[in-house]
Amino acid sequence: MNIRTATSLAMGMAILLGCYFGYLGYVKNVGYPDGHITDYDGLMSLTFKIMILPLLALSLYAFYLAINSTTTNTAKQLKKCGFLVLVGLAIFSGLDLFAYHSFDHGQGG
């Protein structure tokens, strides 16, 4: 296994782990365990579904680059993939922070 393959696999796994922990953070802020549907949940459920698909596609693309690392220019493609992941996470994090502080998230008396 060369360094390009290892880097591609690491990026794919990092994206998947980021999606997983992002989902856990979303579930934590929804207002469980009482199951009260809140404004935050209504906004973030759609937003999370929209943002998770491109991130999963980028993860699959990183795994594809790992498979074809000997025939493609992997370094340039990984930089593009990493940049798109960072932009997506910045947008999602900013929206999540805004929604958490602006809408009822079901926690409190």
Q: Where along the chain do its domains lie?
A: 3-102
* Cβ neighbours for 4, distance < 8 A, ≥ 6 positions apart: 65, 66, 69, 70, 74, 75, 78
From the list 21, 12, 25, the residue with the least C-alpha distance to 100 is 25
For the segment 19-23, the average pLDDT, to the nearest whole number, is: 82
pLDDT, tens digit, 9 for 90 and up, residues 31-43: 666 666 677 777 7
What pLDDT score does 84 carry? 86
Mean pLDDT of the chain: 80
pLDDT value for 58: 86
**Over the stretch 58-72, which tens digit does the pLDDT of each residue have?**
889 888 888 887 777
Whether residue 93 has pLDDT greater than 70: yes
Residue with the two structure tokens 């960072």: 86
Main-chain dihedrals φ then ψ at residue 108, nearest 5 degrees: 130, 180
The reported pTM is 0.71
